[in-house]
Amino acid sequence: MHKLKIIITISVVIISAVLITYVNLSGKNTEIISVENLNAPGCHVQNNDCEININGFKLAISFDKNIYYLKSFSFSVLSDIHFPIKTIITDFRMKNMEMGVNRFSMISTTTKSDNKQHWQGKALLPVCISGRADWYAEMSIQLENTRYIVSFPLQVEKL
């Protein structure tokens, strides 16, 4: 019994050391820049492409014009190929309201003949029982060593 306790303790210490090292190394080169209220003139992702520039990294983000509860909608990101994107994950939330997990991964539709990266996403949002419709989207865009988090408001309507 005493040997079993020693083996379990040593195992826990080794696993903890490995996890701490992994967390420290994986976060070392990741810079998170949060862009709230994009401050781009005429930028409304549901009316037109919203073009933003973060440290030379340019994005054009667009969503379907009309977004309704319980009906799927599309959104896209267009970017320069010189900043290769690994993944884009979009979370949909409301401030001060728990709406569950509404997380959607985007799919790259980039072709080799194009100098742009194309990403497409589809989502479906639940109805808010309070009647609120003030959603915002938070896009996590992962490059090689940098992760950008961009958030912006959305207007969701009832059918």
Q: 16-71: per-residue pLDDT in tens? A: 555 554 444 444 455 565 555 445 656 778 877 788 887 788 889 999 999 999 99
- One-letter identity of residue 57: F
- CA–CA separation, 130 vs 1, rounded Å? 57
- CA–CA separation, 22 vs 25, rounded Å? 5
**Helix (DSSP H) and strand (DSSP E) numbers for the chain:** 1, 11
CATH architecture of 30-157: Sandwich (2.60)
Please give the distance of CA 35 from its chain centroid, rounded to a whole number: 12
pTM for the full predicted model: 0.74
Q: 66-111: per-residue pLDDT in tens? A: 999 999 999 999 998 888 999 999 999 988 888 889 999 999 998 7
Q: How many CB atoms lie within 10 A of CB 114?
A: 11
